[in-house]
A and B are shown apart, each in its own frame.
Chain A
Amino acid sequence: MRYLLISVLMLLTACGQERVRPSFHPEANPPTLSAWGALQVEKGRLILGEGVEPYTLNTPLFTDYASKLRTVWMLSGSASIGEEGSLDFPVGTVITKTFYYPEGEDGTVTAAAYQSVDLSSEVDLSTHRLIETRLLVRREDGWHPVSYVWNEEQTEATLKRTGAVVPLTLADHQQAGPFAYVVPNENQCAGCHAPDAASGRIEPLGPTAGQLSRREVVGDEEGEQLLRLAEAGFVTLGDEPAVVQTRWDDASASLDQRARSYLAANCAHCHNPQGPADTSGLDLSLGATGAAVGRCKPPIAAGSGTGGHRFGIEPGRPEASILTYRVGSTDPGAMMPELGRSLVHEEGLALLNQWIAEMDGTCSET
């Protein structure tokens, strides 16, 4: 089936472009992104390698309003669906995520609504700027994070293990102005991608069955993303249909489901019972209940992160809740998430504010 699709893709790209075959590098990380063949720059466009599938998520992580082009490819085999919709990818899997912005002629970037994912799986480089491409590579000994930063000419991305600060200027949006886009260092990848702090094992976070299961329109055709990935041979579907994770911007879903999905996608990689933020007692994974989610919960070691507030969530009072204070902060000592953003996600914050504003009850005072 995968080969059928590839041949279709080959037909689609019949305008003379030859798609690159992806490579799996079982040991060393090549110094340039192009050596992986997952992505290539061709005639002023970033396009996918042969057989590489794009995907998007119901509720993605916010990263400074960057658009993200996500891809998956594997040497052989396919991912099986495990507990709670997690995907068990085989050795030889290469997942990529390219961070980019629409770019104006003056070099400023714009905060394109980051949810509207471009599934044409191409990026026009005359109107966009590529910042970085992060890879997660499944090798024999586990997942390896690898980061590449794009050059100014937008022709190649080179391995960057120690991270970088890329000064950008946002042209639109409430937060228009300069900001420091931060490329994490290799260790910091584990800051999010090791959701079990005891094992420290690196894992992909986005691609779960619940996040991938969504309607999509590719070209003229409407379909289901998880089915497309299954037809491509990358996922083996189980007997049970996936429990779909709510889209954070799905106006037809309940406020609670949307907010919890947003918190799960943006916070639960640390704030889960095994995560590095279990030190706080705050659990924002989808299954968490009660005070663990922050309702009337006093802070433990929040430091400046409290913003002077006394509870994680004070029902009805987002302006007095630590959770929304930290999501709305850009002070590195107070903001949440700690890594991966320099800007506030205004729309996500608005969702959380509304969620808390509509909560009933009070926290008793002494």
Chain B
Amino acid sequence: MRHLLLGLSLVTLAACGSEDTARVAEATDESFQEELQLQLLDAKPGDVIEIPAGRYALDRGLSLTADGVTIRGAGMEETVLSFAGQVAGAEGLLVTADDFTIEDMAIEDTIGDALKINEADGVVIRRVRVEWTGEPKTENGAYGFYPVQTTNVLIEDSVAIGASDAGIYVGQSKNVVVRNNRAERNVAGIEIENTQDADVYGNVATDNTGGILVFNMPNLSQEGGRVRIYGNEVYENDLRNFGHPGTPVASIPAGSGIVINSHDDVEVFDNDIRDNRTANVIISSVYASNYADNSWSDSFDPYPERIHFHSNRLSGGGDKPDGAELKALKLLKFGPGGSFPHVLWDGYAAEGRDPQICIQDEGAKVLNADLPNSSKNISVESAPFDCSLPRLKAVRLASAE
């Protein structure tokens, strides 16, 4: 009877969404779910919770509040927690504890975020896969890896697929390393938002709507600062945007390689950035996003400043921009067979202050869309951006050494 009722309620839930929401639920492994949650409840600092190889169906979100706990599976293809039948909980696993490590497992098809870690000091995510199976769709959960308001965070050798917002998202955090991961078929592959001191390197971001995003949003407890993006492969992020209308990422044009929005002090170097059909690089202000300026505090700085691109390898892309306005602009300026230059800039800068946007990459020109003047003086230049900035310091993170 119980399963019948749960089945009914699932059908009801699915019927509320739009097309193609049928979630194929396996029968819940009640005893496994009970035992695992009990282990999480009883965990003490230093405990390692091992989950053997196997595929386990859960119907409720898990949570951990004890510090110093490690959860370890037998491999990201071997130990799989499937939440396709989830009826409760906004996450697959919610962690509100310090010194947390998760390794060698997969979390699939959660109804909301896959792995959220809120207000923690010390996070290690290693060789973990989060995935929404099937075709990318709006009904998928928002975030794959979602540490927010955390300090000393390492995400490495992991995989994020199918998130309707960001596959790997680090928000309002400090001292972060994101390295050697793979993000694909998400709206945003990797997103660093309102975060201070982050190194993002050795990652592959492909087949997302936008590859790697560095965002600074208003009205939050912390502004972003000092992000280094280097040694990544960011290519063919041409997936249609399937984000939820209204979310900041829903405004990302399909075919965006690296996007820097309202963020200061970003150094981007030694990356392979290629074949992103709108543009390999977009630098913009929150003014160019969906939101007007009436809702953020006076102290918020909406302009991207001190942006330093150098020694990247840029090629292809810019040939099939997303959205009517960009398509028209491309046609007008570059003709049917032409392409945008590698860098698009919306042109917003603080009155009387040099934004210090330095693009030293070989062959990289900047399209200034001149949005502040209703695009009256659209230009393609490289000289104004021929400048250099001091290098940013490497993040020092004990768990990454």
Q: Which of A140-198 contact B (CB under 8 A)?
A: 161-163, 165, 167, 169, 177-180, 182, 185-188, 190-191, 194, 197-198
Say yes or no: is B156 at the interface (Cβ < 8 Å to chain A). no
B2 CB contact (under 8 Å) in A162, A167, A281: A167
CB <8 Å contact, A332 and B295: no
CB <8 Å contact, A165 and B87: yes
A300 CB contact (under 8 Å) in B89, B164, B220: B220
Say yes or no: is A26 at the interface (Cβ < 8 Å to chain B). no
A223 to B65, alpha carbons, bound, how many Å? Answer: 42
Which of B86, B139, B248 counts the most A-chain CB atoms under 10 A from its CB? B248
Residues of chain B within 8 A (CB-CB) of A165 are 2, 6, 59-60, 87-88
CB <8 Å contact, B247 and A366: no
CB <8 Å contact, B16 and A303: no
A182 to B291, alpha carbons, bound, how many Å? Answer: 37
CB <8 Å contact, A182 and B246: no
Say yes or no: is A304 at the interface (Cβ < 8 Å to chain B). yes
| CB-CB nearest in chain B for A362 | B294
Say yes or no: is A214 at the interface (Cβ < 8 Å to chain B). no
B111 CB contact (under 8 Å) in A188, A331, A366: A331
CB <8 Å contact, A187 and B41: yes
CB <8 Å contact, A167 and B1: yes
Say yes or no: is B245 at the interface (Cβ < 8 Å to chain A). yes
Q: Which of B31-58 contact A (CB under 8 A)?
A: 33-34, 37-38, 40-41
| Chain A: interface residue total (CB-CB under 8 A) | 56
B247 CB contact (under 8 Å) in A194, A197, A303, A339: A303
| CB-CB nearest in chain A for B65 | A187
Beyond A276-B96, A279-B148, A298-B291, is A331–B16 a contact (Cβ under 8 Å)?
yes
Which of B118, B171, B247 counts the most A-chain CB atoms under 10 A from its CB? B247
CB <8 Å contact, A308 and B88: no
Say yes or no: is A208 at the interface (Cβ < 8 Å to chain B). no
| CB-CB nearest in chain A for B142 | A303
Say yes or no: is B79 at the interface (Cβ < 8 Å to chain A). no
Query: Contact residues of B with A, CB < 8 Å?
Result: 1-2, 5-6, 8-9, 12-13, 16-17, 33-34, 37-38, 40-41, 59-61, 63-65, 86-90, 94, 96, 111-113, 118-119, 138-139, 141-143, 146, 148-149, 164-165, 169, 171-172, 193, 217-221, 244-248, 287, 290-297
Query: Contact residues of A with B, CB < 8 Å?
Result: 161-163, 165, 167, 169, 177-180, 182, 185-188, 190-191, 194, 197-198, 200, 276, 278-279, 281, 291-292, 296-311, 322, 330-334, 338-339, 342, 363-366
- Nearest 4 A-B pairs (CB), nearest first? A303-B142, A306-B246, A167-B5, A333-B112
